[in-house]
Amino acid sequence: MLLSKCSRKHLKYSTIIDIIVLYLEVMIVRVPETIRKVARPVNTVVEDSGRDGPNRYLVRERSSIRYVPGGNPQPKNGKVIGHIIDGVYVPVSRQSSTNEPDMLSFGGAAFVKSVTDDIVSDLLEIYPPHVVYTIMALVSVRIL
C-alpha cells in the first residue's frame, strides 16, 4: 500500500535487483583494512573464511582470468598459499598455530610468555607448531 502511494522517483532502491544487491553488500563479511594491508606475496587476495580461529583469513593466489563475452575480465582465485595470523603472513608450508589466550590475565603466565618468545621462534624453525606449543605448555606448567 505504501509503495503505491509513493512515486518511484522518490525510492532509492526501486527494483528487486537493487534490494538484493543492498542485502548482499550488508550481509557479506568484509576483510578488515588492517588485515588487507599486511605484507604478502604479489598477485594474491585475502578472503575471510567466516570461521573463528587462527586460520580465519586465507591468502589465495590469482590463478587466471576468465573472459566474459561482452563484459569485463573476471579474475579467478587459485589455491590457498597462506594465512594471516596475528597480523603476520604465514605461508602454508611453515604455518604455525597460535594456541595462546587472547588476554594474559596472570602475571606469571605473562612473564613466561615474554621470556620464552625467542625460544618459541627458534623451536618453530625445527619442529612442527603442535609439538612446539605442547613443549611450551609443559614448560609453563612446570615453571608456574
pLDDT at 49 over 50: yes
pLDDT at 26 over 60: no
Find cell 604455518 and name the residue.
95
What is the rounded distance in angstroms from the CA atom of residue 4 to the CA atom of residue 119?
70
Instruction: Name the band, by pLDDT with cuts 50, 70 and 90, for residue 1.
Output: very low
Alpha-carbon 33 to chain mean position: 11
Instruction: Name the band, by pLDDT with cuts 50, 70 and 90, for residue 13.
Output: low
Predicted pLDDT of residue 3: 45
* Strand, coil or helix: 12: coil
Exposure b/e, 22-35, CB count within 10 A at least 16 = b: eeeeeeeeeeeeeb
Q: Of 90, 101, 80, 83, whose CA–CA distance to 124 is shortest?
A: 90
Instruction: Name the band, by pLDDT with cuts 50, 70 and 90, for residue 55.
Output: confident
The 10 Å Cβ neighbour count of residue 100 is 15
Predicted pLDDT of residue 25: 56
Find out whether 73 and 67 touch, Cβ atoms under 8 Å.
Answer: yes
pTM: 0.46
What is the rounded distance in angstroms from the CA atom of residue 8 to the CA atom of residue 14?
6
Which of the 8 DSSP states describes residue 9? G
The 10 Å Cβ neighbour count of residue 16 is 8
